[in-house]
Amino acid sequence: MREDDASWDEDVRLAVYHAFADHGRAPTAPELADAAGGSLAVAKQALHRLADAHHLVLDDCEHVVLAHPFAARPLGFSVMGAHTLWWGGCAWDSFAIPHLVEDEPEVLVATRCPGCGQPHALVVNRAAPPEGAQVAHFLVPVARMWDDVLHTCANQRLFCCESCVDAWLAETGQDKGCVLDLVTLWRLARGWYEGRLERGYRRREPGTAAAYFAEAGLAGPFWAATAGV
């Protein structure tokens, strides 16, 4: 990759993330072209390199589907701030948005329990975890999260309680992953995407990811990373 390619990549990455953070949507074609010196073709090349590096996810039409913690389409969570409405990519991402977007320190996260369909709405802010008996269930271990990231995100959901998790697993025939209470989920989300809206952001390597997970109270084989996350 040429040095100018790397420069375009970072400009395009920032255009993607700021479109989501500021407007709750993916960047338009003109916005992408502007970030790549006026060339949409150069921008699309940068998008593919960014997808290969796991900075974002593209669909078959080269549209940005995910730029964690933001999603371009409904994946089970709406996240409403004072000024912006987002689709959250998953429970983890939905709790992360108020920590990342400076002008939105508090949001309303809305979803439904996959086990029983009960609606849930939680106020999530930077000051303290939300109160509640709900739990998050993560189906896919960290080492396999990018094998099919849309499947991973679709299966990081909030449930009424662990009994609803067990009922849903029995109905779907899937093995149990990791269950987190709201406090642990909030700690996981709090600083995970720190710096993602800034130039020069780097994804965590396995060692630093493991240390971060441990600080949030998460350890063991499920949380063992084998590549950058």
Q: What digits encode the pLDDT tens for the residues 79-126?
A: 999 999 999 999 999 999 999 999 999 999 999 999 999 999 999 999
Tokens 């499947």 belong to 151
**pLDDT grade, residue 13 (50/70/90)?**
very high
Domain 71-223 annotated CATH 3.30.450.410:
yes
Query: Which residue shows structure tokens 């950058």?
Result: 228
Q: What is the mean pLDDT of residues 188-214?
A: 95
What is the per-residue pLDDT for 85?
98
Residues 6+ apart with CB under 8 A from 42: 8, 36
Question: Across all residues in the chain, what is the average pLDDT?
Answer: 95
For residue 107, which of 122, 89, 119 has the smallest C-alpha distance?
A: 122
Structure-token pair, residue 156: 């990081």
Residues 62/47, Cβ–Cβ less than 8 Å = yes
The CA distance from 159 to 79, in Å, is 17
Task: Provide the residue ranges of all domains of the chain, joining segments of one domain with +.
Answer: 3-67, 71-223
At 5 the pLDDT is 64
Which pLDDT tens digit goes with each residue over 48-74?
Answer: 999 999 999 999 999 999 999 999 999
CATH topology of domain 3-67: Arc Repressor Mutant, subunit A (1.10.10)
